[in-house]
Structure 1
Amino acid sequence: MRTNYCGELNKDNIDQTVEICGWVNRRRDHGGVIFLDIRDKRGIAQVVINPDNADFAIAETIRNEFVLKITGTVIARGEGLANPKLASGDIEIVASHIEILNTSKPVPFQIDATDTSEEVRLKYRYLDLRNDAMQKRMRLRSKVTHFMREFMDSHDFLDIETPFLTKATPEGARDYLVPSRTHPGEFFALPQSPQLFKQLLMMSGFERYYQIVKCFRDEDLRADRQPEFTQLDVETSFMNEDEIMKMMEELTRGMFKDAIDVDLGDEFPSITYADAMHLYGVDRPDMRIPMQMTDMDELMQGVDFKVFSGPASSDGSRVAALRVPGGASISRKKIDKYTKYVSIYGAKGLAYIKLNEDGPASPILKFLGDDVTAKVIEMTGAQTGDIIFFGADKTKIVNEALGNLREQLAKDMDLFDKPWAPIWVVDFPMFDENDDGSLSAIHHPFTAPNVDAKTLEETAPTALSRAYDLVINGSEVGGGSIRIHQVEMQQTVLKLLGISDEEAKDKFGFLLDALEYGCPPHGGMAFGLDRLVMIMTGSDSIRDVIAFPKTQTAACLLTDAPAEVPRKVLRELSVQVSLAKKD
């Protein structure tokens, strides 16, 4: 139907007769001459319809988002009329024939508007996706997945599909369940990841597997999470963590260079989980921010200020300081805002010291004294014009509060010292100890520890795993580990997690059986595709890089899902719905 794409027309096409197809981006009527901006997937071209055109009457009926086919002659724009913002900005098309392929109702928002609410954008997603920014994001996403496939294929990985209807297994979030009609009262679960199936593929002798796959988690949502998400899933046999990380690093470097022409450097640095938490408060540190937390426990143990001395002297608590360069300019109103911000993470307050031209200033100076204040300034390296924020509470609260405050301050004050900062986080704990003394897996129950089974039983709360996460600009974009490949070790881990032999057989019997038939050492990794593309495009939300996303309440405004189903269907599935009556 077309001879050319709109965005590809240029001076080389002058005097040519062309046929273009697309949507009316804008219509302008200038003293009897009608101008149409026609948009297709390659860009925009300006079309001129003169009053002597036989189809001028048709042109007068055209509105935004009509779908047209235009035949016309390419000419150069008049002097001073070129549009440098358009690839086709040096030319325009004088129409000789107009064909309306389809009309459009008045649209609820202008396609290229930047102030449309997300609720409206998601309800009319098919219109929102016509926006140039969304088109570019989706094209970049396709480019990323294309590179991933080419890379994996070139490294002898096989693309193998795993089931969507499977059995519920504990992986840290609630499952989406699917009732079975043929097995009344029983349910499939949608996979949170293909974890066990890809391990079974290693046991099957394929050695190298990958898949770009949908996963499902019924969890509370944030800007960087969705109930259904896509990941590049990778598993390989006979490789240790260093070899896997090296290969995945090569993939990441190549992908960034190919997709957005960004050079991430020759070798990614690494940091232990313990150091990341101690220095940055989070296990996904943003290394673009030149600020670290400084431990103040020893210094604060002897002060009369119980807000500091109490946590400084207590196991499981800490006092830490965060120096913010240039932060003395932060107003009291903003400090109050940051105090409210850290309360989200359980902090009861936000103490500070400002280093003004005339010396330190703070409501807490009278409690610390001159000597301790001077020592704080020395330990943090603070200078005139800086501010020092403090956290004093349970270690988890201090880390989360100051760690997230560090990132928020960097955004508000533009404290980033580089555009890109990848880093590996390694040496994660094997387990997290709950308040009741029980253990839960930091990653998942199939991650291998870095000790043997006997030592693991003796040192479980402090044992480390062979897990690794890739963090870029403060976002975890991928995570993996070496897996357990011996049945004795897997049984030990399940036992430490409080899973009885009977429960283990019920939930993981097929895996435990498979481990006894010559399972090779293996490990792998999964990249969050949505989050990767979000970072690459500079988007604020993964909803902006997914064609048809859900809201933060896991609803689809476009299709009105989830929705009720007829009782007849529920009866066929042996499902009965009982809801509490609304007031």
Structure 2
Amino acid sequence: MRTHYCGELNKDNINQTVEICGWVNRRRDHGSVIFLDMRDKRGIAQVVINPDNADFSLAETIRNEFVLKITGTVIARGEGLTNPKLSTGEIEIKAQNIEILNTSKPIPFQIDATDTSEEVRLRYRYLDLRGDAMQNRLRLRSQVTRYMREFMDEHDFLDIETPFLTKATPEGARDYLVPSRAHPGEFFTLPQSPQLFKQLLMMSGFERYYQIVKCFRDEDLRADRQPEFTQFDVETSFMSENEIMTMMEKMTRGLFKSVINVDLDDNFPTITYVDAMEKYGLDHPDMRISMQIVSMDKLMQDVDFKVFSGPANDDDSRVAALKVPGGASISRKNIDKYTKYVSIYGAKGLAYIKLNEDGPTSPILKFLSDEMTAKVIEMTGAKTGDIIFFGADKTKIVNEALGNLREQLAKDLDLFDKQWAPIWMVDFPMFGAGDDGSLNAIHHPFTAPSVDTKILEQTATTALSRAYDLVINGSEVGGGSIRIHQVKMQKMVLKLLGISDQEAQDKFGFLLDALEYGCPPHGGMAFGLDRLVMIMTGANSIRDVIAFPKTQTAACLLTNAPGSVPRKLLRELSIQVSLAEKD
């Protein structure tokens, strides 16, 4: 139907007769002449319709988003009429024939409008996707997956699909259940990841596997979470964690250079979990920010200020300080705003010391001696014009409060030192402790510990895992580990997690059996593709890099999913629904 795309026309096409197809991006009626900006996937070209054209009266009926086929001659724009903002800005098409392929109702918002609410954008997603922003993001996403596939193919990895209808595995979130008509009262689950199947592929001798795969988690949502998301999944045999990290680092570096022309560091730095929590409060620190959290426990143990001395003398708590360069200019109103912000993470307040020209000022100075205040300033490296914020509470609360405050302050005060900052997180604890004293897996129960079975049993609460995460600009874009490849170790880990032998056999009997048939050492990594593309495009939410995303309530405004189903179908599935009456 077309000879050229709109956005590919230029002065080399002058005097050529062309046929273009697309949408009317904008119509301008100047009375004696009508201009149409025609849009397709390659860009925009201006079409001019003169009164002597037989289709002039037809052009008067055309409105935005009509779908047209136009035949015309490419001509040069008049002097002073070129548009340097368009690649086609030196030419226009003098229309000879116009064919309306389809009309359009008045659209609920202007394509590419920046003030359209997300609710409206998602309700009319097919219109939102016509805009440049979404078109460019999804094209970049396609370039990302193409590069990943090419890289893996070059490194002898096989693209192998794994099942969507499977059995529940402990991945840390709720599963989506799928009822089985053939097995009344029983359910499949949608996979939170292909974890066990890719390990079974290693046991099957394929050695190198990858997959770009949908995963599902029924959990509370945030800007970077969706109930269904896409994972770039990798598993390989006979490689150490350093070898896997080196390969994935090479892929990431090449990906950024190829797709967005960004040169990442030649060697990504590495930080241990302990150091990250001590200095940055989070296990996914934004390393574009030079600010560090400084521990004050020893200094504050004997101070006559119980808000500080209490946590300083408690093994499960900490007192820490965060120096903010230039922060003395922060108003009291904004300090109150940051105090409210850290309360999200459980902090009861936000003490501070301002270093003004006439010396330090703060409501807490009356509780600190001049010597103590001077020591705080020395330890934090604070200077005139800075502010020092304090956290004093349970260690988890202080870390989360100051860690997130650090990143919020960097955004508000533009305290970023660089544009891109990848870093590897290593030496994670093998287990975390639940409120009831039970152990839970920090990553998942199939991650290998850094010690043997006997030592693990004796040191479960302090043992480290062979896991690693890749963090870029404060977002965890990928994580992986060396897996357990010996049945004795796997049974020990399940035992430490409080899973009985019978439960282990019921849930993971197929895995435990497979481990006894010559399982090779293996490991892998998974990238959150949506989150990675979000970072690369500068989008604020992964919803902006997914064609048809869900809302934060896990609903689709476009299709009104989820929805009810007929009772007849429920009966066929042996399901009875009982909902509490709504107020």
TM range (shorter): over 0.9
- Residue aligning to 1:568: 568
- Residue aligning to 1:227: 227
Shift of 1:169: 1.2
Are 1:36 and 2:25 an aligned pair? no
- Residue aligning to 1:22: 22
Partners of 1:80 and 1:484 in 2: CA distance: 70
Are 1:436 and 2:436 an aligned pair? yes
Partners of 1:529 and 1:346 in 2: CA distance: 31
- Residue aligning to 1:413: 413
Give the aligned residue type for 2:203.
M
Partners of 1:265 and 1:21 in 2: CA distance: 44
Partners of 2:94 and 2:197 in 1: CA distance: 60
- Residue aligning to 2:449: 449
Within-5 A mapping of 1:301-450: 301-450=301-450
Partners of 1:200 and 1:491 in 2: CA distance: 17
- Residue aligning to 1:155: 155
Partners of 1:385 and 1:91 in 2: CA distance: 56
- Residue aligning to 2:108: 108
- Residue aligning to 2:64: 64
Could you give the per-residue CA deviations for residues 546-581 of structure 1, whole angstroms, max 9, x where no partner exists?
Answer: 000000000000000000000000000000000001
Give the aligned residue type for 1:395.
T
- Residue aligning to 1:490: 490
Larger mean CA deviation between 75-84 and 450-459 belongs to 75-84
Could you give the per-residue CA deviations for residues 278-331 of structure 1, whole angstroms, max 9, x where no partner exists?
Answer: 000000010000100000000001100100000001011000000000000000
Shift of 1:132: 0.5
Within-5 A mapping of 1:253-332: 253-332=253-332
Are 1:581 and 2:574 an aligned pair? no
Could you give the per-residue CA deviations for residues 41-99 of structure 1, whole angstroms, max 9, x where no partner exists?
Answer: 00000110111100011101100000000111111111111111111111111111100
Partners of 1:360 and 1:525 in 2: CA distance: 49
Secondary structure of the equivalent of 1:171? coil
- Residue aligning to 1:167: 167
Partners of 1:119 and 1:293 in 2: CA distance: 39
Could you give the per-residue CA deviations for residues 477-498 of structure 1, whole angstroms, max 9, x where no partner exists?
Answer: 0000000000000000000000
Give the aligned residue type for 1:448.
A
Could you give the per-residue CA deviations for residues 213-259 of structure 1, whole angstroms, max 9, x where no partner exists?
Answer: 00000000000000000011000000000000000000000100111
- Residue aligning to 2:77: 77
Could you give the per-residue CA deviations for residues 434-492 of structure 1, whole angstroms, max 9, x where no partner exists?
Answer: 12110000000000000000100000001000000000000000000000000000000
Give the aligned residue type for 1:403.
G
Give the aligned residue type for 2:183.
H
- Residue aligning to 1:551: 551
Shift of 1:31: 2.4
Shift of 1:32: 2.5
- Residue aligning to 1:250: 250
Partners of 1:206 and 1:561 in 2: CA distance: 39
Secondary structure of the equivalent of 1:485? coil
- Residue aligning to 1:476: 476
Secondary structure of the equivalent of 2:211? strand
Shift of 1:265: 1.8
Shift of 1:133: 0.7
Secondary structure of the equivalent of 1:382? coil
Give the aligned residue type for 1:204.
S
Give the aligned residue type for 1:12.
D
- TM-score if structure 1 supplies the norm length? 1.00
Partners of 1:524 and 1:327 in 2: CA distance: 43
Partners of 1:453 and 1:435 in 2: CA distance: 25
Partners of 1:565 and 1:147 in 2: CA distance: 41
- Residue aligning to 1:125: 125
Shift of 1:153: 0.4
Secondary structure of the equivalent of 2:459? helix
Secondary structure of the equivalent of 1:61? coil
Shift of 1:30: 0.9
Partners of 1:582 and 1:433 in 2: CA distance: 37
Partners of 2:537 and 2:55 in 1: CA distance: 42
Shift of 1:333: 0.5
CA RMSD of the aligned region, Å?
Answer: 0.5
Partners of 1:381 and 1:359 in 2: CA distance: 15
Secondary structure of the equivalent of 1:560? coil
User: How many pairs are equivalent?
Assistant: 583
Partners of 1:415 and 1:6 in 2: CA distance: 42
Percent of pairs with identical residues: 86
Partners of 1:79 and 1:431 in 2: CA distance: 72
Partners of 1:230 and 1:381 in 2: CA distance: 44
Partners of 2:179 and 2:5 in 1: CA distance: 48
Partners of 1:308 and 1:74 in 2: CA distance: 76
Partners of 1:439 and 1:3 in 2: CA distance: 65
Shift of 1:11: 1.0
Partners of 1:416 and 1:156 in 2: CA distance: 39
Are 1:2 and 2:2 an aligned pair? yes
- Residue aligning to 1:204: 204
Partners of 2:32 and 2:323 in 1: CA distance: 65
Larger mean CA deviation between 25-34 and 234-243 belongs to 25-34
Give the aligned residue type for 2:482.
I
Are 1:137 and 2:137 an aligned pair? yes
Secondary structure of the equivalent of 2:37? strand
Give the aligned residue type for 2:413.
M
Partners of 2:38 and 2:357 in 1: CA distance: 60
Shift of 1:170: 1.0
Gaps of 5+ in 2: none
Partners of 2:359 and 2:389 in 1: CA distance: 16
Partners of 2:84 and 2:311 in 1: CA distance: 61
Shift of 1:369: 1.6
- Residue aligning to 1:465: 465
Partners of 1:369 and 1:83 in 2: CA distance: 67
Give the aligned residue type for 2:33.
V
Secondary structure of the equivalent of 2:266? coil
Secondary structure of the equivalent of 1:462? coil
Partners of 2:427 and 2:168 in 1: CA distance: 28
Give the aligned residue type for 2:294.
T
